[in-house]
Amino acid sequence: MKANVKACDEEYYTHVEGIGSIPRDIYKYVTSDPMGDLPRFSIHIVIQHTLFFISFLVLVSTGLPIYFSDVFWSPYVIALYGGIDIARIIHKTGAVIMILASMYHLITVVGGTMLKILKKEFDLKRTQIPRLKDLYDLIDDIKYFLGREPYRPKMEKFMYKQKFHYFAVMYGSFVLTAAGLALLFPDMAAKLLPQTIGKIFSPVLIGAESFAAFFQDLARLMHADEAILALIVLAFWHWINVHFVPGRFPIQWTFLTGRIMREHQIEEHFLEYLNNLKEIPEEREYMRNLLSDNNLGVPSPESGKSILADVPDIH
């Protein structure tokens, strides 16, 4: 399959062999199933997201009331869990699940990437690895929302926002896990962080404490503050961007079905949609019929008709 930009309008039309010239705003004409039309996540990612999501909510709802035990609402929340001792057990269980889900994810990502490299199927553009194009997409997207550009940029499977979400979660998971393990196993943390390491820090910073004691205080602060930050990001950024935006409110089912709506993918992940046209014969046929039925192809100067099936089909 060859995909090249139509010379008559580089921004609006993308010509695809065997299908025709696809307008940038074709998403306005397509039909979409709210449960998803096209593949986005594997079953492994769906399971990992579910485990991480549930364990995170459990950790926040048990950990913050314990940390802020002197706040008026804390005793009521702890009482819902049957007391502080049970809340601590549930919190530790949630932590184990989150750590296992993170390990499962790393094994899937690293193992899957190695397998694709061996099969010569690895495509950097379809990963979460940041690229310079993401910066250009961000700039062009800002221009679009300010009315300076007529169309959104043509973005890959994972756009700049999703990559930022992903690495923010990775960073937050590392901080929460490292600080949580230090609080759960203080003796082991003290052995791994001997007092001599504290010599690299200013005495004013550490005071009379050993570095191990200083790190315990720091870990307690990091654990709580990172949990609050993660909750704010999840509730006021991730959920709003994923579920509450127009066209996907009140919920986007991708996190459960592993599939994305056709309209959503074309609008925000146009380049990934071109990959799906290459890989899914039924989608090629759907787009070919859509262009033909709505006369949306590029007008031919000679005939005044749309150029749709003048090139060979994709095999």
Is position 57 within any domain?
yes
Q: Is 289 left (phi over 0), alpha (psi -120 to 50) or beta?
A: alpha
Is position 303 within any domain?
no
d(C-alpha 254, C-alpha 159), whole Å: 16
Residue that is last in its domain, among 76, 94, 122: 122
User: Which three-class secondary structure state does DSSP give residue 151?
Assistant: coil
Strands 3-5 and 38-39: unpaired
* Model confidence band, residue 193 (pLDDT cutoffs 50, 70, 90): low
Is position 234 within any domain?
yes
pLDDT tens, position by position, 41-50: 999 999 999 9
User: Which three-class secondary structure state does DSSP give residue 309?
Assistant: coil
Q: What local confidence, expressed as pLDDT, does residue 131 receive? A: 96
Cis before 39? omega within 30: no
User: Which three-class secondary structure state does DSSP give residue 25?
Assistant: coil
User: Which three-class secondary structure state does DSSP give residue 84?
Assistant: helix
164 and 97 share one domain: no
d(C-alpha 191, C-alpha 232), whole Å: 34
Q: Which residues contact 219 (CB under 8 A, 6 or more apart)?
A: 178, 179, 180, 182, 183, 189
H-only helix segments in the chain: 43-67, 74-80, 84-118, 132-145, 160-184, 186-192, 203-206, 211-233, 239-243, 254-257, 262-268, 270-279, 281-294
Helix 160-184 to helix 132-145 angle (10° resolution) is 120
d(C-alpha 109, C-alpha 129), whole Å: 12
d(C-alpha 54, C-alpha 297), whole Å: 46
Residue that is last in its domain, among 237, 257, 277: 257
Residue that is last in its domain, among 213, 228, 257: 257
d(C-alpha 272, C-alpha 154), whole Å: 9
Number of domains in the chain: 2
What's the number of CA atoms in the CB half-sphere (13 Å) around residue 172?
20
Q: What local confidence, expressed as pLDDT, does residue 305 receive? A: 38
* Model confidence band, residue 2 (pLDDT cutoffs 50, 70, 90): very low
164 and 249 share one domain: yes
Burial (Cβ within 10 Å: 0-12, 13-18, ≥19) of residue 301: exposed
Is position 141 within any domain?
no
181 and 250 share one domain: yes
* Model confidence band, residue 198 (pLDDT cutoffs 50, 70, 90): low
Provide the residue range defining the domain that includes 106: 43-122
Is position 299 within any domain?
no
Is position 306 within any domain?
no
61 and 118 share one domain: yes
d(C-alpha 36, C-alpha 259), whole Å: 5
| More reliable by pLDDT, 42 or 315 | 42
Burial (Cβ within 10 Å: 0-12, 13-18, ≥19) of residue 268: buried
d(C-alpha 310, C-alpha 20), whole Å: 8
Cβ-defined contacts of 220-224 (< 8 Å, 24+):
220/179, 220/183, 222/175, 222/179, 223/63, 223/175, 223/176, 223/179, 223/180, 223/183, 224/63, 224/64, 224/67
**What pTM value is reported for the model?**
0.84
Is position 295 within any domain?
no
Q: What DSSP state is assigned to residue 249?
A: -
pLDDT tens, position by position, 278-314: 999 999 999 999 999 888 765 444 333 334 333 334 4
pLDDT tens, position by position, 70-118: 899 999 999 999 999 999 999 999 999 999 999 999 999 999 999 999 9
Could you give the angle at the alpha carbon of 115 between the alpha carbons of 113 and 120, nearest 5°?
90
Is position 164 within any domain?
yes
- Rounding to the nearest 10 degrees, give the CA dihedral for residues 215, 221, 226, 228: 170
